[in-house]
Amino acid sequence: VTDDELQSQLDALTTVLLAVARGRFDRPAPRSYDGSAVDTLTFLVNSTAEEVGFLVAELEREREELRKAQERLVEAAKLAALGELAGGVAHELNQPLTAIRIVTELLEDQPDGHPADRADKLSLIRRAAERMSRIVDGVRTFARKTSFELARTDALRPLDEALALFAEELRRAGIAVERRTPGGLPPVLADSDRLQQVFVNLLANARDALRTGTSGAPLRISLTASHQAEVVLYCVDDSGPGIRPEDAQRIFDPFFTTKPAGQGSGLGLAVSLGIVQEHGGSLSYEALPEGGARFIVRIPVARDEPLP
Amino acid sequence: MTGSRTFSILIADDDELVRGVLTIVAEELSDEVVVVEGGAAALAKLETRRFDVLITDLRMPGVDGLELTRFVTREHPHTRVIVVTGFATPESERAVRKLGAELIQKPFGARLLRERIQSALEAAASFRQREL
């Protein structure tokens, strides 16, 4: 084999390997079948390229199957959430519905009851119906797919507006609010009204947790905001009893509530989680070492978009 | 059932509205109806005295209806238990029935409830007769 021939065969092998690097496995180098070391090398390179081609195709098929399986899982999760929702709605509606059915039959069985007694029973029916309306409203809010208007928003605005709604009530309930929010936070990319709703829900939960007033500990809600990498991180802490570990996994489930019947829809955290996720952020819970609850909201920082 | 008027009924439900209507029906059938807001309060009552019939919700925060039913069947076997529920899983439904308690699915009307309380009171009456 002359040097020139050797060079051209090595060039051919280089071409095969470069093609492999670009994802083409069907470009074998021509062989001389002369029993030379270079021909053996060519055979090895060609068959290796072919084998790699098979493996890559196999890998792609498997990746596609995995993607389809993931899609099915997401669908299944959606269905499970729907089932959860339906079960919760059934349970919530059943309470006032039972009251209505019982009282209606009582009225039917005593058509000539005392007027005052009849008025009491009718008022029970009205209260039950009102409660059913509230449940239906809650479901509607939960199900509604409103379009989000994400805009560059002052990071503290949604928090402050939510706090303004509660300030007087918290003051009267003897709950102290500590607000530790540094200046110079970057603006967030948010729908201010929707994010405000998240903080309203978290503040309402904190207030309710403190209302259960277990220990003699001071009633306190702490709000903090800080800038961490690509997000603004908000913490809503309360000095209440915290959430029982067995309940903590379920607090974001629709209709899960630890509040007394008729007082909590069980939708606040589920709705809040949905809103935060629509922002590309996250909502999580942590037990505070000293016993209270901490809810953490992470909202992405706004980039480049000019202020409206 | 005139004899039932001396029989006692304990009602445990965390829902104020449901508690109210259960009480109206129970008071038609017994002069001694005690109403509490949850499982823990019911346990506290049961520590101090006996009841002929317990009507309890299944899903309650803290001590739930199933736990309460377990306690009652163990400690007060003479007490008839009626569990009312808005949403029972097949497992909890089986568990309730296995304990020998009556299960009523919400929503239900006054007539069905009255009928179930009456049978429970009758069972309590025959238990008392056997006791004598």
Mean pLDDT of chain A: 84
Q: Measured between beta carbons, which residues in chain A are less than 8 angstroms from residue B87?
A: 87-88, 90-91, 94
pLDDT band for A136, please (50, 70, 90 cuts): confident
Bridge partners (DSSP) of residue A296 are A235, A284
Angle, helices A37-109/A3-21, rounded to nearest 10 degrees: 0
Q: Which of A87-101, A142-156, A261-275, B98-112 has the highest mean pLDDT?
A: B98-112
Residue-wise pLDDT tens digits, B57-77: 998 877 889 999 999 999 999
Burial classification of residue A149, based on how many CB atoms lie within 10 Å of its CB (0-12 exposed, 13-18 middle, 19 or more buried)? exposed
Closest CA to A237 of A162, A168, A167, A287: A287
Burial pattern A161-200, b for ≥16 Cβ within 10 A else e, equals ebbeebeeebeeeebebeeeeeeebebbbbbbebbbbbbb
With bands split at pLDDT 50, 70 and 90, how would you rate the model's confidence at A142? low
Per-residue pLDDT at A144 exceeds 80: no
Tens digits of residue pLDDT in A166-220: 777 787 778 889 998 888 899 999 988 788 888 988 998 898 888 776 556 788 9
Q: Which of A85, A92, A95 to mutate to test the interface with B (most CBs of B within 10 A)?
A: A95
Q: Determine the distance in angstroms separating the CA of A165 from the nearest CA of chain B, rounded to an integer.
A: 28
β A220-228/A151-153 pair status: unpaired
A94 pLDDT higher than 80: yes
In the predicted model, is pLDDT for residue B6 greater than 60? yes
- Asked if B25 and A102 touch (Cβ cutoff 8 Å), the reply is yes
CA-nearest of A231, A223, A236 to A185 is A231
Express each pLDDT in B20-70 by its tens digit.
Answer: 999 999 999 999 999 999 999 999 999 999 999 999 999 887 788 999 999
Residue B2 banded pLDDT, cuts 50, 70, 90? very low
The bridge status of strand A231-238 relative to strand A220-228 is: antiparallel
Pairwise pLDDT comparison (B35 vs A165), residue with the higher score: B35
In chain B, which residue's Cα lies nearest the Cα of A84?
B87
pLDDT digits (tens, 9 = 90+) for A263-286: 666 677 887 888 898 899 999 999
Nearest C-alpha in A relative to B89: A87
Looking at residue A138, its pLDDT comes to: 63
The CB-based long-range contact list for A134-142 (8 Å cut-off, 24+ gap) reads: A134/A265, A135/A89, A135/A92, A135/A93, A135/A96, A135/A265, A138/A265, A138/A267, A139/A85, A139/A89, A139/A267, A141/A267, A141/A271, A142/A85, A142/A254, A142/A267, A142/A270, A142/A271, A142/A274
Name the A residues in 240-259 with CB < 8 Å from any B CB.
258
Where residue A147 falls among pLDDT bands split at 50, 70, 90?
A: low
* pLDDT for res A146: 52
A299 neighbors A232 (Cβ within 8 angstroms) = yes
- How many other C-beta atoms can be found within 10 angstroms of the C-beta atom of residue A303? 10
Using a pLDDT cut of 90, give the percent of chain A over it: 36
Q: Can you list the positions of beta strands (E) in chain B?
A: 8-12, 32-36, 53-57, 80-85, 102-105
Best residue in B11, B13, B14, B15 for a mutation probing chain A (most A CBs within 10 Å): B15
Does the pTM of the predicted model rise above 0.80?
A: no
| Alpha carbon distance B50, B71 (integer Å) | 12
Chain B residues whose C-beta is within 8 A of a chain A C-beta are 13-18, 20-22, 24-25, 37, 59, 61, 84, 86-87, 106-111, 113
Nearest to A101 among B22, B86, B108 (CB): B108
Point out which residues pair with B53 in neighbouring strands: B9, B80
CA distance A123 to A143: 30
For A29-87, the pLDDT digits (tens) are 999 898 889 999 999 999 999 999 999 999 999 989 988 877 776 666 556 556 656 66
pLDDT in tens, A97-121: 999 999 999 999 988 888 888 999 9
Within 10 Å of residue A66's Cβ, how many Cβ atoms? 10
- For residues A137 and A129, give the distance between their C-alpha atoms in angstroms, rounded to a whole number: 12
